[in-house]
């Protein structure tokens, strides 16, 4: 099963995400995070979903959409690296993705369903990967990264945004 990655397995800018992931079974951590994320957003009204903690910051709906977009991209990266694909993968600019989205026009329930589907797909991918794939490496955003680091980044990225939501939005 996937283990906590060593610092040499991922770029330094992911350290805060990986460090947020507690010790334990990564799949259980992902499941617990899914429950907490959906519970938090299910409590919001549509009006509250448009809340921004400051001018120019993303709305809560945009944060959830960003979490979903990023998890989709990271899951794809995980699949490619785990399958031994050495083709360099491009980076992405999350602000460009938000600018081209319609998250604020979608019902919160639809955004929750999308996040849930993407998270469940990520958990299925992680569950079904052979044990010998976790140390495999590939290149994303011009840096080398291991399969297990990507799995931890998926978990840590969501934890990061829940922390920001609780500190700045609620």
Residue 4 lies in a domain: no
Return the CATH number at 131. Answer: 1.20.120.450
Number of structural domains in the chain: 1
Residue 24 lies in a domain: yes
Residue 75 lies in a domain: yes
Residue 165 lies in a domain: yes
Q: List pLDDT tens digits, range 10-65.
A: 999 999 999 999 999 999 999 999 999 999 999 999 999 999 999 999 999 999 99
Residue 7 lies in a domain: no
Residue 2 lies in a domain: no
What percentage of the chain reaches a pLDDT higher than 90?
Answer: 99
Range of the domain at 85: 13-169
Residue 100 lies in a domain: yes
The predicted model scores a pTM of: 0.97
Q: Cβ atoms within 10 A of the Cβ of 110, count?
A: 12
Q: pLDDT category, 1, cuts 50, 70, 90?
A: confident
Does the pLDDT at position 161 exceed 90? yes
Contact indicator for 21, 154 with CB cutoff of 8 Å: no
Residue 78: closest CA among 116, 129, 28, 27:
129
């Amino acid at each position: 099963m996937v283990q906590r990655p060593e610092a040499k397995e991922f770029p330094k800018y992911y350290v805060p995400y990986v460090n947020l992931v507690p010790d334990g079974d990564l799949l259980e951590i992902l499941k617990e995070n899914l429950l907490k994320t959906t519970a938090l957003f299910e409590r919001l009204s549509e009006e509250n979903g448009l809340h921004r903690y400051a001018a120019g910051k993303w709305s809560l709906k945009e944060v959830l959409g960003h979490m979903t977009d990023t998890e989709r991209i990271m899951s794809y990266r995980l699949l490619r690296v785990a399958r031994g694909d050495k083709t360099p993968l491009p980076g992405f600019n999350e602000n460009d993705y938000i600018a081209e989205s319609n998250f604020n026009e979608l019902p919160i329930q639809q955004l929750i369903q999308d996040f849930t589907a993407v998270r469940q797909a990520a958990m299925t991918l992680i569950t079904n990967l052979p044990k010998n794939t976790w140390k495999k490496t590939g290149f994303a955003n011009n840096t080398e990264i291991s399969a297990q680091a990507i799995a931890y980044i998926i978990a840590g990225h969501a934890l990061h945004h829940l922390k920001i939501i609780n500190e700045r939005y609620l």
